[in-house]
Amino acid sequence: MSFSGKKFRRVKCENIKELLASTHANDDIVRVIKTKAPFVTYTLLDGNTLLMDLEIDGKKMSHTFRLGEEHVMKKNDGGTVKMTYTVEGNSVIKQVIKMPDGKTAYFRREFNDNEIKMIVTMDGTDLTGTIYYELVQ
């Protein structure tokens, strides 16, 4: 995987505020997307396990996911969301997040050597947001 083990930092967003406003997204998603430029690293541990390291405002979080399997993740407020990660080829990670309110968010991360282009769509709107990350290390 071309992206495995590389650290990226968010550099710009397009249409994200409009997307979040149109869907009344839950506070956790809004916070993660709007927070100061997070750093993210995805590492493929074996053929079916993905490690995501996320650093936001100096706080580090790590999550390990089995590809293709739905995982329950606790939110800061004690609630849960269900997430599924899949990998396409050597350069795309897809993520589906099912919220307790029944809405679903879709994230498609397209990697190249020096950047990630993340395309975000959500149930309830035709809008698409895009978030760009650049390689840090």
CA trace torsion 34, 50, 95, 69 (10° rounding): -140
Within-domain flag for 1: no
Cα torsion angle, 128, 129, 135, 137, sign = negative
Confidence (pLDDT) at 124 = 81
Residue 2, domain member (yes or no): no
Q: Which 3 state secondary structure label does DSSP give 27? A: helix
CB atoms within 10 A of CB 40: 19
Q: How far apart are CA 101 and CA 104, in angstroms?
A: 9
Joined together, the tokens standing for residue 19 give: 């997307």
Yes or no: say if 118 and 130 are a contact pair by the CB < 8 Å rule. yes
CATH code of 42's domain: 2.40.128.20
For the record, the structure tokens of 74 come out as 């606790």
Predicted pLDDT of residue 111: 94
Q: Model-level pTM?
A: 0.85
In a domain, 122, yes or no: yes
| Structure confidence at residue 109 (pLDDT) | 95
At 123-133, the pLDDT tens digits run 888 889 999 99
Ranges of residues in the chain whose predicted pLDDT is under 70 = 1, 23-36, 76, 137
pLDDT of amino acid 40:
92
Task: Compute how many other C-beta atoms are within 10 angstroms of the C-beta atom of residue 131.
Answer: 20
Number of domains, the chain = 1
Quick: pLDDT tens for 11-34: 998 887 777 777 666 566 666 666
Range of the domain at 83: 7-135
